[in-house]
Structure 1
Amino acid sequence: MLRVLTLSTLFPDATRPNFGVFVERQTRGLAALPDVEVRVVAPIGVPRWPLSLSARWGGLAGLPERETWRGLDLHRPRFPIVPGVGWLNPGAVARTLLPLLRDIRADFPFDVIDAEFFFPDGPAAVRLGAALGVPVSIKARGHDIHHFGRARRTGPQVLAAGRAAGGLLAVSAALKADMVALGLPEERIRVHYTGVDLDRFRPVADRVAAKAALGVSGPLLLSVGALIPRKSHDLAIRALAALPDTTLMIAGQGPERAALEGLAKALGVADRVRLLGAQPHEALPALAAAADVGVLVSTSEGLANAWVESLACGTPLVLSDAGGARELVDRPAAGRIVARDPAQIAEAVGALLASPPDPLAVRATAERFTWETNAEALRTHLAGIVAHHPV
């Protein structure tokens, strides 16, 4: 029996049901394996009073310290944060969690700590592993390497944690290459692709009817991602100006909303841009299956779950050459990879609208990304780390 302690600051809760939903789904897949037991520790950072009462953090106060979340035994300890000085968070997480993990080990002698994000989870997990004599795995997802791995105060912590960990995971081969370039040990990095629920994310029999149910006629584009500069939703809106009678839906929330609304109005396409806000994950299959093309031209990515979900719905993609894009868009049916230029984005979208690929051929490109494959690969990786850890 492999006993795993999953550590993740990215994990859904009652106030943030979409927060780290991909971590939850991966963890549930691992826990479902017959020879694996899992407990989850999802630390929540909260500032001291009176900031803890603000709208941003106040809702977290009512969350239980321990609960069963979708079948998982879950702890939600609070650790103190100082807004604006996030480089201190790994130490705060480690200090908060050490007594808790010692208590957990008393009746659940876990074999390995599975840290699901590189910062602050990774450095904290390495400290905890050293204190408890337990090996550590750290998973990189994209932003944690591209931002925290390169920032002045957090970069050295990421590098030290990666070198000390028993094994590392990357969501794409492209991200693995970025990790190696940063100075992390190539021989300890395994590419670990995400999964997709192929039963929920699937093509619809009638895309016209699916669009009509959303109040759309004519071509429909979908972009899924936070409204932040890195996602470059502004480029999709600019491309829309060259795509008459086409609607763009953007599912996500964030600080760029007002700027994107202003841009759409200035370009005269505000009536064809729908900012949907945050959408529950359960709503995404209907959106992705109704769309004719998925568009996401980020400046950086690991391998976005929304990409795989779009393909599983038979919807081709137009992506920038970021992260693992070429590992998904590896054949014409999957879509196009373009420069981050509105004219080239519009041209690629126009080509896919004029000659749409067979939805079943598009879906076939996603069928290798299953949660079952993901879980088996994770178990093999973690078991290998345990086997090679000195007793």
Structure 2
Amino acid sequence: MRMVTISSLFPNKNDPKLGIFVKTRLRHFLATYQNIDLEVIAPVPWFPFKHKIFGEYAKYAGVPYQETIDGMTVYHPRYLVLPKIGMYLTPKFMAKAITRTLTKLHRARRVDLIDGHYFYPDGVAICQAAESLDIPFTCTARGTDINLIPQYPKALAMLRTVFDKAAHMMTVCQALKDEMVKLGVPDERVTVLRNGVDLNLFSASDNAKQAQLKAQGQINEKLVLSVGWLIERKGHHLIIEALQNLDNVRLVIAGDGPDLVKLKQLAEQCKVSERVQFLGGVDQPTLNQWMMTADALVLASSREGWANVLLESMASGTPVVATKVWGTPEVVKPESQGELVERNVADIARGIQHVLSKDVDREAVRRYAEQFSWKETCEGMMEIVDTIVKQSARGAIS
């Protein structure tokens, strides 16, 4: 079987952490089903300037057209992005970029199925490319593509075409499937395939090991970790403000993003800057070390599909405090020893204090995370793609 995965949310040479959740699912899928021949098309915005004054867009300038990532051949065709005014034009430009590369691959050897990720703009573009070459496609919803984008009527109209023409659709949590059903998608056309956690990459510290790690780092306070892109939606600002109500607590923030200066200024204004440390972007092994050291991880997002960082923290033995949005309550259950909170400073502070005051069994937190392996997800994905390819072959024969 030959598959092509298509998603703009996929790592590249200049941004190895981008869309790592898509790469991780593929890596486990290919390890489980080694008969799958898979390539990746990960389109990137066209941008000619590499200088850092151009911010995040400068990252795209040096991305090669073709590279190999974890043994997968990845193509990066360019598409035009018009900042702030191009929301409804981006799917068209992306479709043209995808179609050029996909056509070359399909002509060289037939592509049996397209595995698409993120419904907008990617899914809309994938739908157009797949239809032009008569290739069946699936699409996986991951968060804002379903819990935010459909609020725009013109975008929703484009999404409805994808809903109608996809061979099947997946979501990473039940909450996103429920929202798709509300939008009119038949229940039987959507399958929940939640993300798993890499239990080998994210090792756990028991209570003794965690104490040793804190001692090595000369950390005498309770250590709270916040992870994610530095933007309002991730809620780092709420955690900084919550520190004002928490004594003897140190906050470490891992992530890059446009709000770095603003968050540092907020820490100064709240008079907690001496208790806030900004790590910048870190790789997963480094993140695991911080998680093994932390007493709690806090995720104060306004929107999430299925937040991988929650399971990564729990796999490290660290309980979580998280806002109860979308798929998060499906992850943070009482037996995880974590706490669900409302998205406001007072309740976030309360949740942190509650978790920090408990006698947490870190080995039990790890055992809870171990039920979220990738095995079930990979099996479910294989059942879906195998059914579609067989149906497509029968249709071609008839």
Which structure 2 segments of 5+ residues have no match? none
Equivalent residue for 1:354, pick from 340, 352, 357: 357
> Which residue of 2 is the match for residue 129 of structure 1?
130
Q: Distance in 1 between matches of 2:114 and 2:374?
A: 20
Deviation at 1:313, TM superposition (A): 0.9
How far off is 1:341 after superposition? 2.5
Give the 3-state SS of the residue equivalent to 1:201 in structure 2.
coil
Q: In the alignment, residue 77 of structure 2 is paired with which amino acid?
A: P
In the alignment, the residues of structure 2 paired with residue 117 and residue 51 of structure 1 have an alpha-carbon distance, to the nearest angstrom, of: 29
In structure 2, C-alpha distance between the alignment counterparts of 1:52 and 1:297, rounded to whole Å: 29
Aligned residue number for residue 9 of structure 1: 8
What amino acid is the match of 1:133?
D
C-alpha contact 1:112 1:136 (8 A) present in aligned 2 = yes
- Residue 23 (structure 2) aligns with: 24
Closer, same or farther: CA 143–235 of 1 in aligned 2, 3 Å = same
- The 3-state SS of whatever aligns with 2:111 is coil
Structure 1 position 332, deviation (Å): 3.8
> For residues 35 and 259 of structure 1, do their structure 2 counterparts lie closer, same or farther at Cα, with a shift above 3 Å needed?
same
Task: Determine the structure 2 residue equivalent to 1:275.
Answer: 278
Name whichever of 170-179 and 142-151 sits farther off. Answer: 142-151
Whole-Å Cα distance in 1 between the matches of residues 310 and 141 of structure 2? Answer: 17
CA shift at 1:259, angstroms?
A: 2.3
Q: Is the 8 A contact 1:208 1:217 kept in 2?
A: no
Q: 1:51 to 1:235 in 2, by over 3 A?
A: closer
Q: What is residue 305 of structure 1 aligned with on the other side? A: 308
Between 287-296 and 200-209, the greater mean CA deviation after superposition: 200-209
Greater RCO (CA < 8 Å, at least 6 residues apart): 1
SS in 1 for 2:240: helix
Contact 2:255–2:280 (Cα < 8 Å) also in 1? yes
CA distance in 2: counterparts of 1:112 and 1:381, whole angstroms: 11
CA apart distance, 1:372: 3.4
Work out which of the residue numbers 241, 246, 249 in structure 1 matches 2:244: 241
Letter in 1 for 2:374: W
Q: CA deviation at 1:242?
A: 1.5
Relative to structure 1, is the Cα distance of residues 118 and 52 closer, same or farther in structure 2, using a 3 angstrom cutoff? farther
Give the superposition deviation at 1:143: 1.5
**Aligned match of 2:287:** 284
Match of 2:310, SS? helix
1:320 aligns with 2:323: yes
Distance 2:53 2:78 in 1: 14
Establish whether residue 76 from structure 1 lines up as the match of residue 76 from structure 2. yes
What do the CA deviations read for 1:248-305 (whole angstroms, capped 9, x no partner)? 1111122222222222222221111112222222311111111111111211110111
1:104 paired to 2:96:
no
Change (3 A) 1:10 1:330: same
Mapped to 2, the partners of 1:215 and 1:159 lie a distance apart of: 55
* CA distance in structure 2 between the partners assigned to 1:327 and 1:320 by the alignment: 12
SS in 2 for 1:86: coil
- Which residue matches 1:216? 219
CA RMSD of aligned residues (A): 2.2
The worse-fitting range, judged by mean Cα deviation, of 88-97 and 36-45 is 88-97
Q: How far apart, in 2, do the equivalents of 1:121 and 1:144 lie?
A: 9
Match of 2:231 among 228, 233, 243: 228
Cα distance in 2 between the residues matched to 1:34 and 1:179: 32
Paired residue type of 1:216: I
Q: Which residue of 1 aligns with 2:168?
A: 167
Q: Distance in 1 between matches of 2:145 and 2:378?
A: 22
- Contact 1:316/1:335, CA 8 A, preserved across alignment: yes
Which residue number corresponds to residue 390 of structure 2?
387
CA 49–346 in structure 1, closer or farther in 2 if over 3 Å, else same = closer
Q: Distance in 1 between matches of 2:53 and 2:223?
A: 41
The amino acid of 1:80's aligned partner reads: L
State the number of aligned residues: 390
Q: Residue 50 of structure 1: CA displacement?
A: 11
Q: Distance in 1 between matches of 2:54 and 2:335?
A: 49
C-alpha distance in structure 1 between counterparts of 2:59 and 2:338, whole Å = 41
Q: Distance in 2 between matches of 1:25 and 1:165?
A: 23
TM-score by length of 1: 0.93
Letter in 2 for 1:91: K
The equivalent of 2:373 in structure 1 is 370
- Which residue type is aligned with residue 11 of structure 2? P
Against the structure 1 CA distance between its residues 369 and 97, is the aligned structure 2 distance closer, same or farther, given a 3 Å change threshold?
same
What residue number does 1:34 align with? 34
The question of whether the paired residues in 2 share the 8 Å contact of 1:65 and 1:75 is answered with: yes
Instruction: State the partner residue of 2:45.
Output: 45
| 8 A contact 1:42–1:77 mirrored in 2 | yes
Kindly indicate whether the alpha-carbon contact (under 8 Å) linking 1:4 and 1:39 is maintained by their aligned counterparts in 2. yes
Q: Is the 8 A contact 1:333 1:357 kept in 2?
A: no
Q: Partner of 2:200 in structure 1?
A: 199
CA contact (8 A) 1:328 1:334 kept: no
Relative to structure 1, is the Cα distance of residues 351 and 202 closer, same or farther in structure 2, using a 3 angstrom cutoff? same
Contact 2:297/2:313 (<8 A) preserved: yes
